[in-house]
Structure 1
Amino acid sequence: MFSLPKEATIIEVGPRDGLQNEKNEVPTDVKLRFIRALQDAGIREMEVTSFVSPKWVPQMGDAAQIMDSVPRTGRQFVLAPNERGIENAKAAGADSIAVFVGVSDSFNKKNINRSTAESMEGLAPQIRQLKKDGLFVRACISTAFHCPFEGPVDPEKTLELCRQFAELGADELSVADTNGMADPAESYRLFSRLKEELPDLLITAHFHDTRKMALANILASLQAGVDRFDTSAGGLGGCPFSPGATGNVATEDVVYMLERMGVATGVSVDAVCRAVDEIAGTVSRPLASGMYTLHQNGQPKQ
């Protein structure tokens, strides 16, 4: 019926994207236990923290402490929204930097008080310098499908922004359905275009599960040739600048689906659920992904 890759890479975003929207303050030692448990589960690429202003995102105020203590297993991304954040991240020893821009001007202005064009103008010299310094650059493309303020986003605008990052030398594009409005057909169309036009870049799909279509969108993206997915253990997440957006698709559910279809991830569902146990008692809402609910109830996952 369709062809699927033999392997897929899971990029865990729970410690950063998952926790940034949490109202409860999660202690640093709990975050570190969470990160270590995820690494023990087989995760080799992870967003571990963000160098943003604690005034706007208090949850990330311990970024330097996290970087000082996190085990350097695989690739650890840190998000840095501007020049100051990038310099702080580099000073903390980060070698993989994630930057972000929204396709939608309205979203971008709500987020960082700049239009998309203004953001790109500011980021361009930063990205060029990061590449000269030998660092890995991950570009996070927000509101790639839909904007909570403007509505549907023209795919051509998303493609053009992705091309700009490619020209600047970005290594990876994480293309996000920020408020969970994408459907499988448009996911297939957009990612097919990206894979065709930018074959030398790592293309990662990032889906929120607001309308419970994230797994279907991942399947559509797989068929479009994508083999990298941002996921969040326990379904943690949301977006403080996207009203109504709920959590990211749960790591344990994605891994279970992929492995059942014969797509190897190298990640243990059981071990991811145990990692969620480390964080579940400190967050503000119940974590109720399919696989984690089975884990809590002591039911078999097979």
Structure 2
Amino acid sequence: MALSSSFWSSSSKAAIFSVALFMVLLIGSCSAQLSENFYAKKCPKVFYAVKSVVQSAVSKEPRMGASLLRLFFHDCFVNGCDGSVLLDDTSSFKGEKTAPPNKNSLRGFQVIDAIKSKVEATCPGVVSCADIVAIAARDSVVILGGPFWNVQLGRRDSKTASFNAAGAVLPSPLSTLGNLITKFQDQGLSAKDMVALSGAHTIGKARCSSYQSRIYNDTNINRVFANARKKNCPMISGTPKDNNVAVLDFKTPNHFDNYYYKNLLEQKGLLHSDQVLFNGGSTDSLVKAYSINQRAFESDFVTAMIKMGNIKPLTGSSGEIRKLCRRAN
């Protein structure tokens, strides 16, 4: 039996409108879960507390800025930006700190502890460890000469971590271009985001075990560059020298700029996963563009950082606000 036109124009239209309005509100609430002003009233001094500790740590050791930036990346890629990377192992789970991509290389945990202590003294039980990691990453970039952006906040902390997830989702320094693109796409990040975020390697260092294969086996590498790195990284693996480090950007290792991309044009990327970004593939044009235009790189880097910071955050009543970042309450 056909519905009358009067019925369709009143009851059904009202119902459809209500459902549509609900969906709009639902979508809006999801996209607005994080906010730049989340702590404006709850803890207005949080930014000063974080910056003061980061500034002190980076002034003592510039590499720490890169380490704090890397913490944010390694947190967000594993089940979202939830502070899980900070958790120590417990009797109920094996955490992410000792997973292959992190073991003996992920750093900065003591700095996060110091920040948390200072924030707790100001605003107890208010600011999550996940948000502290996000703010510390931004401050590290700015302190080392990079761009500023307003960090979206409101994340809560997870109560558990995953050793297996960390090993599965974090890209390897031996990755192919296709594998890198896939790993980032799995997190909702585009190839453009991936190339821009890789520019974080304009600061920091890598262990010999991460670039050993490249300097001895890769052909798309500047020979003078490779030979210089061999002096500190012998071909034989499984020795203490595996932990020897080299700067990722040999031109300006403590300054956040676009030299990382300029180095790739000269086949002087330290990691295999660096050089594949400029090796005759689909991302060559982006590398060239960023090598010429630092503002374009910084703009896309900021966009990608904000986007990455929105990967599956815990909000509302999910998770908790940890008292100590190393363990659940």
TM-score if structure 1 supplies the norm length?
0.26
TM-score if structure 2 supplies the norm length?
0.24
Q: Which has the higher strand share?
A: 1
Q: Which has the larger radius of gyration?
A: 2
